[in-house]
Chain A
Amino acid sequence: MDFKNGKELLALCHENDMRISDIMLRREITESEVSQEDVVSRMQVSLDIMKKAAVSSIEEPRKSMGGLIGGEAKKAYESACRICGPVLSDAIAYAMSVLEVNATMGLIVAAPTAGSSGVIPGVLMALSKHEHISDDELIKGLFNASAVGYLFMRNASVAGAEGGCQAEVGAASAMAASAITEMLGGTPDMCLNSASFAISNILGMVCDPIAGLVEAPCQSRNAIGVSNAFTSAQLSMAGIKHHVPFDEMVDCMMEVGRSLPRELRETALGGCACTPTGCDLSCKIFG
């Protein structure tokens, strides 16, 4: 039960009357020859790491290795301003917490990368809290997200060095959008439609980490990734169709990534990293 693109994935869903998460779980069991129980319990471990990382910097902030971040998640979580509403406000804080955990040498799940590791946990934990979604459903959400992420890895790239931040936070938000859509009862077509929205919304986003570290602007980009995921899922659940099918958006993302200059692909030679302040900070950190 394997698939090479979104079209084949949807065909499998239709033929078998299954959700994207079911197909991905089946694929994992058949292709890697591991029992369903083992695959699911391994995903539970990933979920548990995500849950912990989503709150630990809110409860106990620490300064990052490079010193550029630390304490932002707690501030976001405790802020009196809740203009984004309860779900998104909490998801933003959770996503930022994961990036702080990552930057302080804590344990995270790269999803799909360390630099974009906050988006999916942020979304899942907020849904768990406000929509009372169970662990079993969250795990299905992770299998749904991994189907979308797999297609980015297979047919494009999730490396900032190859595709810029659109390949990292962009892919993470497309994965998260699809997972949200399924968890809220959307069809497989609606899932990939939401992923199309998510990737097109931040197409072209560059990877320009200050001092070359996974700290800033990575942390706030994970917050925007969460917002992008919810917005894209909301559009799709409303029955709004993106004009470009998912597979074409994956190719398009890679094309845009290739046309980004090297300076804007994780080298810290452009963007935020190359502003006068970005350069000063880099000099302070590395002497």
Chain B
Amino acid sequence: MEFISAFDVIGPNMIGPSSSHTAGAAAMALLARKLFGDKTPAKVSFTLYGSFAKTYKGHGTDKALLGGMLGFRPDDMRIRDSFRIAEEEGLDFRFIEDDETETPHSNTADILMIDEDGYTLSVRGVSVGGGKIKLTRFNNIDVDFTGEYSALIVRQNDRPGVAAHITSCLAEANVNIAFMNLFREDKGTTAYTVVESDEKIPADVLDKIRDQENIMEVKLVQV
């Protein structure tokens, strides 16, 4: 059983009103932003499903998602004013309500981020309760990623030896792997490796991993 800390009971410290609809929303957008390269995109759209689509206004889910996208943590008072701040920063944002598409979890949002030079990333976030979240989709790939650990996300060609290359680079840097998952679009095309670790992953591992012909992109998210 997972350890329940005193601060899981007396906590999280959060902007109200709802841990799932507000704190979770901010946390998923913040994680999406980290995956985008820890910068505010030029354009973002949020598609809201299930209970998010129906009740987002009363729970400030929209303000929280936008706040997370601006880099605000779930306990950041600026979430209340995130619409104004986003406009000041020139972030082009919109919200799409989709209360028809069925998603496996009620509190779900798709987040599509676009850069000035066209770089695009889409993720699906799910708020699973108590402010905890996970990402279940990364571009078109199904993943399962909580952001509670330091994580390395590698986009690669689906060829033999790539996973071995990644693990040997990590072993050299003395990184202890907590979880490692491989996801792919189709056999022989693009695959993603998600590696999670209890400790910080040193940034110089990234260059070593990149130094292989089948590696297309490496991203690092630190706790």
The answer to whether A105 and B17 touch across the interface, beta carbons within 8 angstroms, is yes
The answer to whether B6 and A110 touch across the interface, beta carbons within 8 angstroms, is no
Closest chain B residue to A105, Cβ basis: B80
The listed residue (A65, A101, A112, A153) touching B60 by CB distance below 8 A is A65
CA–CA, A149 and B7, complex, Å: 10
B residues 1-17 near A (Cβ < 8 Å) are 1, 3-17
Residues of B within 8 A of A (CB-CB), count: 35
Q: How far is the CB of B194 from chain A (nearest CB, A)?
A: 25
The answer to whether A150 and B11 touch across the interface, beta carbons within 8 angstroms, is no
The answer to whether A215 and B17 touch across the interface, beta carbons within 8 angstroms, is yes
The listed residue (A101, A105, A114) touching B79 by CB distance below 8 A is A105
The answer to whether B79 and A146 touch across the interface, beta carbons within 8 angstroms, is no
By a CB distance below 8 angstroms, the chain A residues around B75 are: 107
Map CB proximity to A onto B129-172 as digits: 1 under 8 Å, 0 otherwise. 11100000000000000000000000000000000000000000
A39-47, A128-136, A199-207, A269-277: which lies at the B interface?
A: A39-47
The answer to whether B9 and A111 touch across the interface, beta carbons within 8 angstroms, is yes
Q: What class of interface size applies to chain A in its complex with B?
A: 35 or more
The answer to whether B15 and A214 touch across the interface, beta carbons within 8 angstroms, is no
Q: How far is the CB of B97 from chain A (nearest CB, A)?
A: 11
Map CB proximity to B onto A92-118 as digits: 1 under 8 Å, 0 otherwise. 000000000111111111111111010
CA–CA, A213 and B4, complex, Å: 27
The answer to whether B130 and A31 touch across the interface, beta carbons within 8 angstroms, is no
By a CB distance below 8 angstroms, the chain A residues around B90 are: none
Is B55 interfacial (CB-CB < 8 Å)? yes
Main secondary structure of the interface of A (DSSP, over half): helix
Is A24 interfacial (CB-CB < 8 Å)? yes
The answer to whether A32 and B14 touch across the interface, beta carbons within 8 angstroms, is no
Is A229 interfacial (CB-CB < 8 Å)? no
Listed by A's residue number, 27 A-B pairs whose Cβ atoms lie within 8 Å are A24-B6, A25-B6, A31-B3, A31-B5, A32-B5, A42-B7, A46-B10, A101-B16, A102-B16, A103-B16, A105-B17, A106-B15, A107-B77, A109-B12, A110-B14, A110-B19, A114-B14, A114-B16, A120-B10, A145-B9, A154-B4, A159-B129, A175-B9, A211-B58, A214-B16, A214-B59, A286-B54
Which chain B residues have a beta carbon within 8 Å of chain A's beta carbons?
1, 3-19, 22-23, 51, 54-55, 57-60, 63, 75, 77, 79-80, 129-131
